Structure 1
């Protein structure tokens, strides 16, 4: 009596499903208002299915079709109808859309409506706790092996219906609700409402649903329960097999370096698989153990065997590890197996080390030679880069000359002692007005400014020097004892001043044509420039082939503006025409 009252109370206060629902304004009035067509009683924590049993959803053979036209609704306790649109409790199969509780919970109790076209069926579902069963609830999961015979599948919910009249026990296979009996399945029989399998096949895998009728308060209820059947191979008769490492393996290791030890084990099929896997480290004074179980066996073969892996890591190999023994142990229900691994110090490969050293020396030699070549030919490399890649920096800078030339000419005022020492030759003048133009202008297309050639006579000399220097990109000074002691040193001083005052600084090129000593009366700004600015030393002979010394002219070009080389015709104007 108490159970009946609890049943009715739970059914009236049925919980609303957690699916996403939409309100339905119009529905079959003769369906929602009438008594349920079917009443189902199921049990919590079990997987159950409900098929839409309207007539229009079946073909002539009694199997459902047109599952796209099947719709499920939930009728709430206040009478409102909600359409179930979330697939969480709806499962699409080959032939229908099922109401599926996986697993069933107390809150799933309620009234459900199923429609196909214009047909409607009303189902009442009540989820009962197994705690209310008088006898224990039967097994809802069974495991059979193919070597067994006469296995039984009982309806697990029958123990909960003692002292009730049970009738019309029916069995279905899987979620398609196909009959368990078929002409092809000749070894399956149903005796006293229990399925008996004379022989086990792989095809017997599936979910078996049993229904039977009971009457509660003169109302017919269908009690539904499911049993999941799994089929496997017969239990192995062999102990596990260690695939690696093999017994007696010696692994090389380095002191202070990490090392992984992995044991691979193969287990045969077992209906109750409970392996034991261990790594055991046996040191002279103590032992250490690492163990695991099923969680190490993720790889399952098609024949039911399982491969397991257990790895231990030595963060830093020590001398104790070298003298220790490492045992891999595996055990199943039949027996056990062990393999032992030891470590040895890694020997240095002399030949390999020789190759490494020779390679390192060769690489270092190549780097040193390369660095030396770059150092020796740096100027040539830069000039080559300028000639093919760099942009001509003389374009658009509003300058008239590439370089202003300053040298000690015949008209320079010298004291008598100096005049007597240098009156025999005027090499500076020949170098300035003959050799420099021949190379820089004719060969490398630079435009030079030489006072005797490019400035008209009669102008104010000091003003002309300042203007011409500002109109030049570089200023070249041919230094000698004669130049340092002559008034020409003023031009050097003026150029230094211009380079300090202008935004785009004028760059000075100093050529040490002959050795000289700095006199005491030399201005400080000139003295500082001579000590800090780069200086190119002339070592050639104006009357020999050394006047075309390529290294000297490359250094001069290195300090000249970046300008594309365009070789022009040979100048015919000689030095004497400029006098």
Structure 2
């Protein structure tokens, strides 16, 4: 009774398994024509892809299934074992091909089913089969890689397609400028450690029955550099170094060593403690060896021993660091010196640091406060006259609100305010800048003859000037002379560093809503100097206001020395 039950269960399991295969659509592939026919040689390493790489990239992990067709047309699912491996991207890897690997393979991915025939032949049929692995040194570039099976099908010219690793990525790409395909061969102009891997080459040929086959072969490429020809080097500390240590306190002795590159890196590092009466070797301690950033020029090792408590006997001891590679060895020695805790010295260091900080802050504050004076002093004694040879006629163009408008209409309101603007521009500015500092100002009513196209003349005069000074007030901002500021802004953008604008805020003013955007932007960006003096008193040309005006003016030598 029990045997019958087991037979029924086995039958149910087999029927469920067969129905599962039918649901996946794998059984439908048995009667279809093969999608691919591969010819490979025994003893090789090969990858089989289930689908073109574009589809494989979109596939989720563990969604690809592989099956092998048995002689009785039943299907056996491929499970992971030593010689058969299914990668996450769906590729089937056969590590070492044997004749019993010949047969029909089916794979399923989502709703896609592929059928392929694999035929494994012995290499006795191709005596010219190339090597299946290469080991290149970095110094051997440029290097050429040829498809090993290309000569097995005669001298007929084939079109070879190359892939790299199980992802079946194209060998050449925009990011790999050192790799090119030339006459079916891979050419490396430079070799890098990233070039290692399995390279697969495919080409199509027809057998005697005119069936189309894909000849597939693989090459294992390894890249390395020559082993070092030099012994290790001690990076720190140098031979005979004395390391300060406090009695009764723990301390560490560190030996930093550089080893040249070796493919089979097996260093020997040890400490030797030479007491007055005994010699002790320590191969313990902490040893940390790391590759450098490129991974090819060697290793840097830090070997450390720790003394839990420094004793007087340790001060008489010589510590020796020994390093050895396959080429030779190197040794360096250390000694401990007594370190006294010096509180007074610490106080001196702290006091000097505080004093230095205070001096630095005072100097920085002085420079910040007297920056304008420092610059003027430097200009007076060291700078060259920048007005020589610049083909400019005036040092500064003066723009201000006049008593009358540009069209001869008398202005009656705020007459005193307008008159103050004109007094500042035509009397005070020349009395300081021209009489004391040899600057040549351009005042329209004084220096330019009337007549002509006024707007065009203003632009030309501004371009003939090194600076443009604007006396700002409520009357100026809302008056017709504002167009001179607009013209100067346009000229400064065209002239770039040749023309600079200076704003003098004579009195507070309110910006009208109709003010052009370019003027609003200039009022916030251009240097502005506020006037707080009295027009009725004698001007002090050495005041801070006039120093700032001179700071923005061009460097020009005075006829005689003046006070800074």
TM-score band w.r.t. shorter chain: 0.3 to 0.5
Q: Which is higher, the Rg of structure 1 or of structure 2?
A: 1
